[in-house]
């Protein structure tokens, strides 16, 4: 590939500060207080920036899914406050935090994200999610609204927040001491938008950032997600297990962008990838066994259903026998099943099959860095993705492992940039700056 050809975009998921695997917090070299230690989170962000990764990504959501007596909560302690800390101690990496469109007021969220964008000199992104679980609603003493209401409100939230972000025109902030002109006359505008769910007068008293305003990020794969992202997003973080499915998802988002008269290249589709990088497959599998052993009984039970055959928890050290392999039928209800059977047929022990991460949230690399690079290259060259969001098993050394073992291979293959292209998140993503208020927003009556 030529040097100026399109390259893979890469994001790093930092989460709770420990890593994605339940045993991450107990690993040697991991500060058990990482959850509240902002030094640790800043160091991890700097490690990702050393690898020239495009952005940090903080999902958010209910913390009640895990057994808190033995495991840390999944979400970060507070995504906005963590990003504020990281913004001051990094220079180029993008900063994408999740904020609910369901349980925030547009003015409050718009102000936090625009301030983050200004303090990071144009590196902020907002992952706009609709909250969808009763657990999250209960945090607010509320019931979860219907899907129609949630997405209706989400469209209004993004419109209003973008309007607030654009309420200072590009050249509004003059701050000329000599002639006492702080802002340009007429260049700051009220919004006065009132939708069915939310409203705001504006203006928001925050000048444009170096990229104008934050990038909109969205996730999910439903028709509602296509419409929302197609209309507003520059980044989509997807969950997908096969090249064919990823290609179809990416196309759906690009098609949605076209329906909103946007250039489809302005919407970048990211697939998830979880990593356990080590010098060889065996070392990586052993590391993953150490990280996940407490979950083995439930995973064996689940693998039975994926393969449609009985499995024996007492035979973890043995490969599946010929009868099991012959009778196995990948479940049509779980897109990971075919891959699980493929691994089983390679002759790995039951323990090792599970340690390959065949029952995780995203495809998993358990092996040397070149395996991650191969996976990324294959998906990228198949037109399935614009980039990947990487979830390391253990942040403390998993980020460095990706940066040191995967990034150089991708660079050597001409698939990953040698340095940041620009100063802002939009410049590094390859999407246009955004200033002012989109006239379509002001003319569009919220439904």
Tokens of 88: 């001051």
CB of 374 to a second copy, least distance (A): 34
CB of 414 to a second copy, least distance (A): 38
CB of 277 to a second copy, least distance (A): 22
**Ligand-binding site membership of 60 (annotated):** yes
User: Any idea which residue has 């990702």 for tokens?
Assistant: 48
DSSP 188: B
Distance of alpha carbon 73 from alpha carbon 34, whole angstroms: 12
CB of 347 to a second copy, least distance (A): 32
User: Any idea which residue has 């076209």 for tokens?
Assistant: 258
Nearer to a second copy, 141 or 310 (CB): 141
CB of 58 to a second copy, least distance (A): 13
Nearer to a second copy, 36 or 147 (CB): 36
CB of 114 to a second copy, least distance (A): 8
- Are residues 398 and 277 in contact, defined by beta-carbon separation less than 8 angstroms? yes
Contacting residues toward a second copy, per CB under 8 A: 25-26, 30, 32-33, 35-36, 38, 42, 63, 68-73, 75, 77-78, 80-82, 84-85, 87-89, 103-108, 111-112, 114-116, 118-119, 138-142, 175-177, 180-185, 188, 193-195, 198-202, 205-207, 294
Nearer to a second copy, 171 or 318 (CB): 171
Helices 243-259/223-232 angle, 10° precision: 50
CB of 134 to a second copy, least distance (A): 10
Nearer to a second copy, 128 or 376 (CB): 128
Q: Phi first, then psi: what are they for 212, rounded to 5°?
A: 90, -75
Helix H, strand E, coil C: the string for 210-227 is: CCECCEEEEECCCHHHHH
Those residues whose C-beta lies under 8 Å from the C-beta of residue 217, and which sit 6 or more positions away, are 57, 96, 125, 126, 127, 128, 233, 234, 235, 236, 237
Beta bridge partners of 124: 95
Q: Phi first, then psi: what are they for 182, rounded to 5°?
A: -80, -50
CB of 217 to a second copy, least distance (A): 19
Nearer to a second copy, 213 or 240 (CB): 213
**Ligand-binding site membership of 36 (annotated):** no
Nearer to a second copy, 97 or 431 (CB): 97
DSSP 96: E
User: Any idea which residue has 């358990």 for tokens?
Assistant: 366
**Ligand-binding site membership of 151 (annotated):** yes
**Ligand-binding site membership of 98 (annotated):** yes
Cβ neighbours, 10 Å, residue 441: 17
Nearer to a second copy, 35 or 302 (CB): 35
Quick one: residue 436, left, alpha or beta (phi over 0 = left, psi -120 to 50 = alpha)? Answer: left
Tokens of 7: 């390259």
Distance of alpha carbon 285 from alpha carbon 279, whole angstroms: 11
Type and span of the H or E element at 126? strand 124-129
Nearer to a second copy, 56 or 328 (CB): 56
- Rg over CA atoms, the chain: 23
- Binding site feature residues for FMN: 60, 98, 151, 222
- Binding site feature residues: 60, 98, 151, 222
């Amino acid at each position: 590939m030529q040097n100026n050809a399109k390259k893979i975009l890469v994001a790093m998921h930092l989460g709770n500060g420990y890593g994605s695997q339940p045993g991450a917090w107990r690993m040697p070299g991991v500060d058990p207080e990482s959850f509240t230690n902002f030094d640790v989170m800043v160091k991890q962000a700097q490690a990702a920036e050393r690898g020239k990764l495009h952005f940090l990504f903080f999902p958010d959501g209910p913390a009640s899914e895990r057994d808190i007596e033995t495991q840390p909560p999944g979400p970060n302690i507070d995504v906005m406050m963590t990003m504020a800390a990281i913004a001051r101690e990094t220079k180029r990496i993008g900063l994408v935090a999740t904020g609910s469109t369901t349980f925030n007021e547009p003015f409050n969220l718009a102000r936090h994200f625009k301030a983050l964008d200004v303090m990071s000199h144009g590196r902020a992104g907002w992952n706009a999610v609709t909250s969808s679980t009763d657990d999250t609603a209960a945090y607010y003493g509320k019931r979860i609204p219907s899907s129609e209401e949630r997405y209706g409100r989400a469209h209004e939230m993004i419109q209003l927040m973008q309007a607030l972000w654009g309420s200072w025109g590009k050249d509004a902030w003059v701050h000329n001491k000599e002639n006492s002109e702080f802002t340009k006359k007429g260049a700051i505008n009220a919004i006065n938008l009132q939708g069915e769910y939310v409203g705001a007068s504006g203006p928001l008293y925050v000048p444009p950032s170096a990229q104008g305003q934050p990038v909109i990020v969205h996730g999910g794969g439903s028709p509602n997600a296509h419409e929302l992202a197609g209309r507003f997003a520059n980044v989509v973080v997807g969950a997908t297990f096969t090249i064919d499915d990823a290609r179809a998802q990416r196309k759906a988002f690009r098609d949605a962008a076209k329906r909103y008269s946007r250039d489809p290249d302005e919407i970048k589709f990211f697939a998830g990838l979880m990593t356990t990088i080590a010098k060889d497959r065996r070392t990586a599998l052993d590391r993953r066994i150490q990280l996940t052993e407490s979950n083995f009984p439930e995973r064996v039970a689940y693998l039975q259903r994926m393969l449609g055959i009985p499995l024996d928890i007492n035979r973890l050290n043995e490969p599946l026998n010929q009868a099991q392999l012959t009778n196995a039928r990948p479940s049509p209800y779980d897109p990971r099943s075919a891959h699980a059977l493929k691994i089983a047929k390679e002759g790995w022990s039951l323990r090792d099959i599970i340690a390959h991460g065949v029952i995780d949230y995203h495809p998993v690399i358990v092996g040397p860095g070149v395996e991650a690079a191969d996976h990324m290259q294959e998906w990228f060259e198949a037109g399935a993705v614009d980039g990947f969001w990487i979830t390391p098993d253990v942040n403390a050394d998993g980020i460095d492992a990706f940066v040191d073992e995967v990034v150089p291979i991708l660079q050597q293959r001409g698939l990953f940039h040698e340095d940041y292209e620009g100063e802002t998140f939009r410049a590094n993503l390859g999407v246009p700056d955004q200033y002012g208020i989109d006239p379509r927003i002001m003319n569009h009556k919220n439904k």
